[in-house]
Amino acid sequence: MRLESKVAIVTGAAGGFGSEIGRIFAREGASLVLADINHRAAESLANELKAQGTKVVAVSVDVGDEKQVYAMVNRAMSEFGQVDILINNAGMGRGARIQDITLDDWNQLLRLNLTGTFLCCKAVIDHMIARGYGKIVNMASICGQTARPVGVDYSASKSGIIGITRTLALQVAPYGINVNAIAPGPVATQIFERNWPKETVDKLKSTIPFKREGTPRDIANAALFLSSDEAGWITGEVIAVNGGAFIG
């Protein structure tokens, strides 16, 4: 098993990407901290995985709240004694014209997507440095790499995550810590379909050369690879998982 004896924190664990990452990591032998603001859904997934023999706890956390983030990491340490992997998956998105985005909208999205990623990285990094080992995978987006018909707040947050990924990777490489990002293209999840206007969804789908949307499994497979020792010499990279949207 590729993650045997490893402990992983997965934020946004109740969502489409997060739940699939949790299931695949459990299959590969990881112990898990499933973190989500929707504690009931995270607990449901934890119970499913416990029934299969996985060591797992569910934690309620708002990743934009520093105290809650540090409490999440402390819970991981008290339960398992280490944190080997951090998957920064919690986030939100929407499509809107800049004229329709209020300052409160902007602050809410940046707080969750960008500040949340920053806080979670900050909370685990000293522990990883002390152990000389760690894998951090941040969830960026194709919308942080190229222009897409989405809100500027969303694009800004995902571009910022790419910046965090590359700079942090440079800072912590001497300590044996890998920091990478995944940049998904359009992926079929309930949140994606619910939060984006149909015309935006259709435009995004039209950029994919493969005749299908991505699935949460596509993203989870990339997260598994970057979290495994197979990716030991990869850091500061943004892995595009987008069905070839860049070449379409």
The two tokens of residue 243 are 């069905």
d(CA 178, CA 139): 14
Would residue 154 show up in a list of annotated catalytic residues for this protein?
yes
| DSSP helix/strand/coil, 226 | helix
> What is the longest distance spanned by two Cα atoms in the chain?
50
8-state DSSP, 33? E
For the chain, give the number of residues.
Answer: 248
| Residue 176 vs residues 121, 137, 183, 217, 235: alpha-carbon distances, Å | 15, 14, 23, 28, 10
3-state helix, strand, coil in the chain (%, to 5): 50, 15, 35
Please list the residues that pair with 4 across neighbouring strands: none
Which string of DSSP letters, residue by residue, matches 4-24?
TT-EEEEETTTSHHHHHHHHH
What residues are annotated to the active site?
Answer: 154
